[in-house]
Amino acid sequence: MASLTVRQLDETLKQQLRLRAARSGRSVEDEVRTILKAAAEESEAPAPVAKAAPGPAPATKVANKRVLLIIGGGIAAYKSLDLIRRLKERGFAVRCILTAAATQFITPLAAGALTGERVFTDLFDPASEFDVGHIRLARDTDLVVVAPATADLMAKMANGHANDLATAVLLATTAKVLLAPAMNPQMWANQATQRNLAQLKADGVTMTGPNAGEMAESGERGTGRMAEPMEIAGAVDRLFAAQGERPLAGQRVLVTSGPTHEPIDPVRYIANRSSGKQGHAIATAAAQAGADVTLISGPVTLPDPPGVKLIKVESARDMLRATEQALPVDVAIFAAAVADWRVANAGEQKIKKKAGESIPDLLLVENPDILSAIAHHIDQRPALVIGFAAETENVEANAKAKLARKGCDWILANDVSPQTGIMGGDSNTIKLVTADGIEAWPPQSKDDVARMLIARIAAAMKAPKA
């Protein structure tokens, strides 16, 4: 068998091998052995089975945004595990650095399991510092969040220290930095901390919290509680919104979705074929755009969309009640297929089939018109009220008439004739009807319809009012 000496390889290859070896913590010779073994095993292995098509690409620009979360050594570190979830459900890629003190409160394992990424703790880690990894970490992010920001981290930042991974990255980054301070009220009130705070603000660092209230230490109250994970996630939204990334940050959006079920008796009901896919996609897209979303959903079999407040209802009257309770909002989108009628003489007990007796008559009465009720709301009409018109004929004419009749601002009309496959399907073809005219949108997935609608809403909410 031919012998091979690493020294005889060309310089570029040797350099690549050194980098690989440093990254995996092996000697160069061991790295070569590992590569050869893997290559030999691969040539022995059966041909790979064709993989399923990859899932859809991340939906929006925000899905590609990276947040580096630095967790400091305070009791509130446990809340940062929830913050990871809140950021991930908004579509951010999250990486974590834990300070040495933070590892006394939470484990890198927990943070890694939640981020799905390697967790960094050590400035002098040969596996990541062979190519000056701390500078890479500082650069490969769109935002750095420090939560909890301890008094110690604030002091180090204000004075430009860089004696561990967290502070070195904070000094090296050009990304925006958001701090969520958390400490004992006396530590927060201390002049040194307040000096550091003033310096950090002057340096362009953004703060969220601390809040006033009960502290983790028994009997302690005051200002020093870390902002809640949802508040920190909201601050992240606003920072990206300021950079044009979260166009609906700070806006309250209400979405209704799915069918309603109108009882005939305790076990039977009248329903329709709405799946809720379009309404749920809109709620998801609004949340990804940074909105504070309330989704009021009739009975559906879809997973709960992340990052929204979900209220589950059954009937049209439940949906109206929940909708009114959710006001005030800035934008209301009525995508639910609300039953026009309900059974006035619904049985309190199961209606029994009795031999020889006539079939019971169902007496139908009109349900409340939720879209019209909210569009005509006297003191809490949202700035933008959007309805859907599910039509099976004369789509445009019916949608125009509905716009005028209901008093809403926009109607999204779709043809739900069975041959279109829209009701319950994954795609939709929309005609947007406004006071300015009718705009035909191309056939596209319901997710894309949702994103297009959210972009239109964001533009409308930004435009100066006529």
Instruction: List the catalytic residues.
Output: 272
Among 151, 291, 311, 390, which residue sits at the site for ligand FMN (rule: CB under 6 A)? 151
Contact characters 332-371, ligand FMN, x per CB under 6 A: ----------------------------------------
Asked whether position 72 contacts ligand FMN by CB under 6 A, the answer is yes
Q: How many CB atoms lie within 10 A of CB 346?
A: 17
First to last CA, the chain: 83
Q: For 387, what's the count of Cα atoms within 13 Å in the CB-facing half-sphere?
A: 26
| Least distance in angstroms from the C-beta of 164 to ligand FMN | 6
Toward ligand FMN, which CB reaches closer, 187 or 401? 187
In 3D space, the residue among 241, 242, 245 whose CA is nearest the CA of residue 60 turns out to be 245
Binding of residue 75 to ligand FMN (CB under 6 A) = yes
In sequence order, which residues have a C-beta less than 8 Å from that of residue 219 and are 6 or more positions away?
A: none
Q: Which of 60, 62, 74, 96 binds ligand FMN (CB under 6 A)?
A: 74
Cβ nearer to ligand FMN, comparing 181 with 387: 181
| CB-nearer residue toward ligand FMN: 151 or 370 | 151
Stretch that binds ligand FMN, among 27-35, 66-74, 197-205, 422-430 (CB under 6 A): 66-74
Q: Say how far apart CA 408 and CA 372 lie, in whole Å.
A: 7
Contacts of 82 (CB under 8 A, 6+ apart): 229
**Interaction between residue 209 and ligand FMN (CB under 6 A):** no
Find the residue with minimal CB distance to ligand FMN. 74
Residue type, 215: M
Cβ-based nearer residue to ligand FMN, 102 or 111:
102
Q: Which residues sit opposite 385 in a β-bridge?
A: 332
Interaction of residue 182 with ligand FMN, rule CB under 6 A: yes
Alpha carbons 357 and 35: distance in angstroms, whole number = 82
Task: Say if residue 259 is preceded by a cis peptide, omega within 30 of 0.
Answer: no
Determine if 99 is a binding residue for ligand FMN (CB under 6 A). Answer: yes
Q: Is 153 in the site for ligand FMN (CB under 6 A)?
A: yes
Please answer whether residues 128 and 103 qualify as being in contact, where contact means their C-beta atoms are separated by less than 8 angstroms.
no
Least Å distance between CB 451 and ligand FMN?
39
Cα angle vertex 169, ends 163, 171, to 5°? 75
207 membership: H or E segment, kind and range = strand 206-207
Among 62, 81, 84, 102, binds ligand FMN (CB under 6 A): 102
**Could you give the residue ranges of the DSSP H alpha helices within 48-107?**
77-89
Smallest gap from Cβ 72 to ligand FMN, in A, equals 4
Strand partners, 69: 96, 145
183 binds ligand FMN per the rule CB under 6 A: yes
> What minimum distance in Å lies between the beta carbon of 185 and ligand FMN?
11
Binding site for ligand FMN (CB under 6 A): 72-76, 99, 101-102, 148, 150-153, 182-183, 187
